[in-house]
Amino acid sequence: MNTGKQINAMVVVLFLTLITLGAYTIWDPLRSDTAEEEQVEMAVERGATTFALNCRLCHGDRGEGGVDGGRLPAALPLNVDRLQGIQDGAFSQPAYDAAFKLVSNTIMCGRAGTSMPTWGQSQGGALSTEQIRQLALLITLGRWELAQEHADEIDAMATEHATVQMPDGSFGASDTELIVSNASLFSLGQYIRIDDERLRVRQNELEVQRGADGTEASSHESGALVLRAEGGAFIDTGETLRHSVEPEDSVLVVNDLKGFTVGDTLRLGSEAVRIVDIVTGLPTTGQRLAEEIGRTADELLVSGADAIEVGTLIRVHGELMEVVAIRDDGESGNALEAGISATDRRISVNDPGLFGEGYVLRLGEELVEVQGPVETGQALGESVGRAETTLAVSGTQGIEAGMVIRIGRELLRVTEVLEPARLEIERAADDTQAASHRSGTAFVRLVEGAEEGETVEQPTGQKLLEAVGPDGTLVTVSGTTGVSVGGTFQLGDELVRIVNSRPARLRVERGVERTSRDGHARRVPLYEANLLVVERGVGGTQPQAHSEGEQAFLTVVEVKRAAGGSKLEVHSKNAEIFLGHRLIMERGVLGSEAAEHPSGALVLNFPPAPEGPTITQEACGQRAVAPAPETPAGPTQTPVAGAQEVVISLSEWSVSPDPATIADGPVTFQVSNEGVAVHNFRVFATDLAPDSLPVAVDRVDEESDQLDVVGGIAGAIPAGTSQTVAVDLPPGSYVLVCNVPTHYQTGMFVGFQVTAP
């Protein structure tokens, strides 16, 4: 190639290189911007996931705050303009930078005096610096739609994407019975969400008339005993209140509704209440499977037929079944071991362990309902294996040699009572006088009564089996159940304290009458052989005499399996039989409003907000928050006689004075925290606008020369409490502030004027 052509080629190459470099110079900033946007989008997406997993239970799914989001009321809203760098309706980069720093610092360090914990790993939290940056980007960019998407997906997974399935096409705003695609996913008292409405599955509830029979409605704490009127007295139902109630409440929540009926009169402390309705959030037939059911069976052996009818849609676990027939010829494998008359209340069958309380059996033409096994009143004092023939039991009252007892499904014959139960006791406790006591003297527990200072005697069911003199410290007793070591009990007029407990011992023959030996745990009850207590002639039948060997039949329910598109499942013995996929709901809870929802709408889990203490320790150099002193700090330590009184109400997120203007002179501030978060109360003298006070990071800068700290309550004022502070205010302008971190920024300030006389 000649020189001219070489030169021309080099010129062309150089020209193309310049064009390429120029194009790259123009395109590179665009590529860089796109890459940055993609990185930010990825970080925000990850921040949304972190928010859904860690933050929304307090701040709401969309950062709307605990009050609007139905979460922790004290949690601040995060979807506000000031956290996105918007001032006076316009974006400001300095404001955005300050907001980003504030949000990052708050997540990293928490906020003393609030319920906001430290999240940064450097402060003992769970989140890395990068995760905190991602969260800060989510919050300051306001990408709440992403947070909502991730929250919805997490909640849908918890309910396996259950949907509304109302027969008429929608769940109306006034409806309380909700039919869903799978009710087995829900539990009593569970909060759920459909669209923007929050609902709650009702619990086991007794709707009652308060203050019945001339008594006065009063408050009752969680755990209060529920007694029922019977035969002119009040007996223990075995139930307690699950939640505290106030005098105006008309619903009592208990663990089990069994044994309660509409019209019953109950006693709570000194108050009588009358049941007007009984409601459960999971409607049930009250029946159970009497045997395990596989995937191919189309006949169910059940405890009874009440509440089950042909055509009824029933549910066991998550499977729906349509009832096509009901029979009473189900073979239980049990027969009477002895004949009974028409009036006998006890029957003996070969395998009583098959039957639970409430099971209905057919004997000939008569129906009988099982009330339970015949109890000896004793229990195992120690666990036993299959080979052991000596049992430690709580006592020997009701047990004698030659008697057959039952533990679980094993029958055992008592061959010898080796020793009775004994207690070592401290005599003449609590300054009482030691005395002699006869055999049969009962041990009585003294408990606090409903009235102040009242003591109530509560039977333990145990008594002396041998007399004891005033010096005796080892006593023979009917049993040790209910008489605990360390407890103080009454014997006659004497109080004794239990020092030690010695169980009774029996020698037994194991696995009699063709039953199998088995291991048994401590405290398992001992029953009398194969005896059952029954109610005779139920269901409109007549009591009759029955012969030895007569068969006991159970109810058989013929079903069409896997109805309504549900899946075939294996079901265990004693599985409860519910009424379809029905839920009874409390509508529009946690600050939401009841609304109509179409069939197909997702039914989402709504996990409750956590309950945690106020954070008082220091983190990242924050000042620890201490409770307010009994006499609040300030220019005047005690109220001044004749001072003007101003009532201050603190709540989320406002400070409300009454009155807002006073004349100069002494003033007493009566400060009440009516919110749910910890607050404090500060009085600043300043000519600045209330919303323009100088701020240091996350609170009003009390060291600023633009204001004077006149007084107030610097310590924490817990929710529901009040404090008093007295100051002498000359004429001028003041701002009353809650200066707990971030509370000023949420609006907890108000102007206050003092005028000249």
Q: Could you report the per-residue pLDDT of 111-127, keeping only the tens digit for each?
A: 776 778 889 888 888 99
Greater confidence (574 vs 617) lies with 574
Q: What angle separates helix 144-158 from helix 3-54, to the nearest 10 degrees?
A: 60
Structure tokens at 531: 């005896």
Structure tokens at 443: 């041990």
CB burial of 56-77 (b: ≥16 within 10 Å; e: otherwise) equals bbbbbbbbbbbbbbbbbbbbbb
> In the beta sheet, which residues pair with residue 171?
597
Question: By 3-state DSSP, what share of the chain in percent is helix, strand and coil, each rounded to 5?
Answer: 15, 40, 45
Structure tokens at 247: 């005098």
When pLDDT is averaged across residues 411-419 and rounded to a whole number, the result is: 96
pLDDT for the residue 23: 64
Q: Phi-psi region for residue 146, left (φ > 0), alpha (ψ -120 to 50) or beta?
A: alpha
DSSP string covering 443-467: EEEEEE-SSTT-EEEEEEEEEBSS-
Model confidence at 443, pLDDT cuts 50, 70, 90, reads very high
pLDDT for the residue 629: 47
| Residue 31 predicted with pLDDT over 60 | no
Cα–Cα distance between 72 and 614 in angstroms, integer? Answer: 12
Structure tokens at 373: 């096994």
CATH domain 38-157 topology: Cytochrome Bc1 Complex; Chain D, domain 2 (1.10.760)
Cα–Cα distance between 278 and 251 in angstroms, integer? Answer: 10
Task: Determine the 3-state secondary structure of 554 from DSSP.
Answer: strand
The upper half-sphere exposure of residue 386, i.e. CA atoms within 13 Å in the direction of its Cβ, equals 4
Model confidence at 73, pLDDT cuts 50, 70, 90, reads confident
| Residue 639 predicted with pLDDT over 60 | no
pLDDT for the residue 640: 56
pLDDT for the residue 32: 55
Neighbours of 521 (CB within 10 A): 11
Model confidence at 628, pLDDT cuts 50, 70, 90, reads very low
Q: Phi-psi region for residue 45, left (φ > 0), alpha (ψ -120 to 50) or beta?
A: alpha
pLDDT for the residue 192: 95
Using a pLDDT cut of 70, give the percent of the chain over it: 92
What DSSP character marks residue 270? T
pLDDT for the residue 516: 92
List pLDDT tens digits, range 533-568.
999 999 999 999 999 999 999 999 999 999 988 899
Count of residues for the chain? 757
Edge-to-edge strand order for the sheet containing 722-729? Answer: 654-658, 644-651, 665-673, 722-729
Contact 478, 463 (CB under 8 A): yes
Structure tokens at 255: 């663990």
pLDDT for the residue 637: 45
Cα–Cα distance between 228 and 344 in angstroms, integer? Answer: 27
Beta-carbon contacts of residue 20 (< 8 Å; ≥ 6 apart): none
Model confidence at 619, pLDDT cuts 50, 70, 90, reads low
Helix (H) or strand (E) holding 542: none
When pLDDT is averaged across residues 722-731 and rounded to a whole number, the result is: 91
List pLDDT tens digits, range 175-229.
999 999 989 889 999 999 999 999 999 999 999 999 999 999 999 999 999 999 8
| Residue 172 predicted with pLDDT over 80 | yes
Q: What mean pLDDT is reported for the chain? A: 89
Structure tokens at 408: 């679980």
Cα–Cα distance between 519 and 10 in angstroms, integer? Answer: 98
Model confidence at 632, pLDDT cuts 50, 70, 90, reads very low
Which residue type is seen at 72?
Answer: L
pLDDT for the residue 746: 81
Helix (H) or strand (E) holding 104: helix 93-109
Task: Determine the 3-state secondary structure of 417 from DSSP.
Answer: strand
CA distances (Å), origin 74, targets 57, 113, 614, 619, 640: 12, 11, 10, 20, 34
pLDDT for the residue 614: 60
Contact 460, 482 (CB under 8 A): yes
pLDDT for the residue 116: 85
Sign of dihedral through CA atoms 16, 17, 23, 27?
A: positive
Helix (H) or strand (E) holding 112: none
Cα–Cα distance between 507 and 520 in angstroms, integer? Answer: 16
Q: Which of 37, 142, 138, 43 is nearest to 86 (CA)?
A: 142
Beta-carbon contacts of residue 437 (< 8 Å; ≥ 6 apart): 464, 467, 468, 491, 492, 494
Model confidence at 633, pLDDT cuts 50, 70, 90, reads very low
Cα–Cα distance between 496 and 437 in angstroms, integer? Answer: 12
pLDDT for the residue 620: 63
pTM of the model: 0.70
Antiparallel, parallel or unpaired: β 661-663 and 749-755: parallel
Is the peptide bond preceding residue 659 cis, with omega within 30 degrees of 0? yes
Q: What are phi and psi of 408, to 5 degrees?
A: 65, -120
Cα–Cα distance between 357 and 360 in angstroms, integer? Answer: 9
Cα–Cα distance between 747 and 742 in angstroms, integer? Answer: 9
Contact 589, 583 (CB under 8 A): no
Strands annotated E in 427-541: 442-448, 455-463, 474-477, 488-491, 494-502, 504-509, 525-535
Q: Phi-psi region for residue 314, left (φ > 0), alpha (ψ -120 to 50) or beta?
A: beta
CATH of 644-755, one of 1.10.3720.10, 3.30.470.10, 2.60.40.420, 3.40.50.300: 2.60.40.420
pLDDT for the residue 641: 62
Helix (H) or strand (E) holding 700: strand 699-700
pLDDT for the residue 630: 42
Cα 464 to its chain centre, rounded Å, is 42
Beta-carbon contacts of residue 519 (< 8 Å; ≥ 6 apart): 383, 384, 385, 386
Cα 684 to its chain centre, rounded Å, is 43
> In the beta sheet, which residues pair with residue 215?
none
Using a pLDDT cut of 90, give the percent of the chain over it: 70
Structure tokens at 164: 């509304």
| Residue 520 predicted with pLDDT over 90 | yes
